[in-house]
Amino acid sequence: MIKKILIPLLLFIVSCNSPKPPANTVTPESHIRTRTVKSKPLPVLWQVMTYPAAQGEQTRRKYVKAETDGSFSNANTSNNYVNADIIMDKVNAGILLHRFKKANPSEKFTGHVHLLMKNSAGTELEMISSRQWNKSGGILIERNNSDYSRFRIFMLQSDGVINVEIRDEFSNIYHFDINAAGFQDAFSQI
């Protein structure tokens, strides 16, 4: 009777004190074929464009333009589609926002618009605009109050994605990202 209890007890004690077996480094062969997914780089969105020639103008002025998509929200809706055109020349910059689809006219802002931008390095730029890009609407970032200079320097020093938030006085909030890659090259051509 003692042998029946003593032998299993000794085996149990010895097995508890023995070192752990080596980890299994062999991975079982999987029969599932894995497909490699290539990550898509951010597209270079900046294009050098030319304004239409004004009457009597000898040379046409150039500008850079990028287009991106985002969302907007207000008290009635949330997370709706917005298309943003970012335009910059040697004098001014502008942002044209098209709600719901690209073909819609740009939004007209009647009061102050608060812009907050944050680049991938964590640097923030805050601006307030009260003027429209043109009679069709949009937001003008003008040279008179040094916002244009700050925006141009911010864009030239940024690399990668810039998060943009725009708030108007009617509680509309617009969110979109600007890809700063290629901006320096495009801007140097105007």
pLDDT tens for each residue of 130-140: 887 778 888 99
pLDDT digits (tens, 9 = 90+) for 95-112: 999 999 888 988 888 888
Measure the CA–CA gap between 174 and 101, rounded to whole angstroms. Answer: 14
Q: Say what the pTM is.
A: 0.70
- The percentage of residues in the chain with a pLDDT greater than 90, rounded to a whole number, is 43
Q: What is the pLDDT of residue 76?
A: 87
Place 36 in a pLDDT band, splitting at 50, 70 and 90.
very low
Give the tokens for residue 73: 């929200």
Q: What is the pLDDT of residue 40?
A: 45
Please name the residue that has the structure tokens 């730029």.
125
Selected residue with higher pLDDT from 10 and 128: 128
Residue 100 lies in a domain: yes
Residue 39 lies in a domain: no
- Answer yes or no: are the C-beta atoms of 94 and 107 closer than 8 Å: no
Query: Count of domains in the chain?
Result: 1
Q: What is the pLDDT of residue 65?
A: 95
| Sign of the CA dihedral with 156 first, then 161, 162, and 166 last | positive
Residue 16 lies in a domain: no
Residue 20 lies in a domain: no
Residue 5 lies in a domain: no
Residue 9 lies in a domain: no
Assess whether pLDDT exceeds 90 at residue 161. yes
Q: pLDDT averaged over the chain?
A: 81
Residue 68 lies in a domain: yes
In which domain, by residue range, is 116 found? Answer: 47-53+61-187
Residue 134 lies in a domain: yes
Q: What is the pLDDT of residue 32?
A: 46
Selected residue with higher pLDDT from 144 and 17: 144
